[in-house]
Chains A and B, each alone.
Chain A
């Protein structure tokens, strides 16, 4: 096993990511809008210590085309 593998393995096994925040999903013309803010914390579980805080603003728009639904048939 290479040093890099060991490093990655240790990093992955020791650390966890904690997410907090709120997202708001709303309907807008022609799609969906997702807005909000996420706070991510990378935590070393072995040492019980936060290593990295990340503030992630989210402002995304998803375009959704018209959906055509055929009317049900009368049987």
Chain B
């Protein structure tokens, strides 16, 4: 007569022999189904969702940006001030900015909101210019 422990072990082995392959087959089947069927569907759904979001929201974004630009353009006025001084130097021309800056002013009050200094220091090299006169005839005429 076997004891209770042996009995349980025997039943367990038998159940394991029968049940484990079935559970493994079930798991494999679910895994294959998820990979082959649900995965692509989830991917397709995500793609469609992104497309819908872009299609539906792009108009809103465009309108928002347009309105923002229009409002900024109406609100602010850019103004360029200053002088450029041209000075002849040896072999070239120096251009130097004096107080050149870009002011961003309020349209309504004219108050300066922001100012950007623009430094200008440009040198333009100018080669010597040669003028050749070749048999240039000067004829005089009497004023009658």
Residues of A within 8 A of B100 (CB): 71
21 interchain pairs, CB-CB under 8 A: A12-B140, A13-B140, A19-B135, A19-B136, A20-B133, A20-B136, A21-B133, A23-B131, A23-B133, A24-B129, A25-B129, A25-B131, A26-B91, A26-B128, A27-B89, A27-B126, A28-B90, A30-B87, A67-B86, A71-B84, A73-B79
- CB of B59 closer than 8 Å to a CB of A: no
Whether A16 contacts B140 by the Cβ 8 Å rule is yes
Whether A27 contacts B90 by the Cβ 8 Å rule is yes
Residues on A close to B: CB < 8 A?
8-9, 12-13, 15-32, 36, 38, 64, 66-74
Residues of A within 8 A of B90 (CB): 27-29
Dominant secondary structure of chain A at its interface with chain B: strand
CB distance from A73 to the nearest CB of B (A): 7
CB distance from A70 to the nearest CB of B (A): 5
- How far apart sit A69 and B122, CA to CA, in the bound complex (Å)? 14
Whether A30 contacts B85 by the Cβ 8 Å rule is no
Residues of A within 8 A of B46 (CB): none
Whether A18 contacts B131 by the Cβ 8 Å rule is no
Whether A32 contacts B88 by the Cβ 8 Å rule is yes
Whether A72 contacts B89 by the Cβ 8 Å rule is no
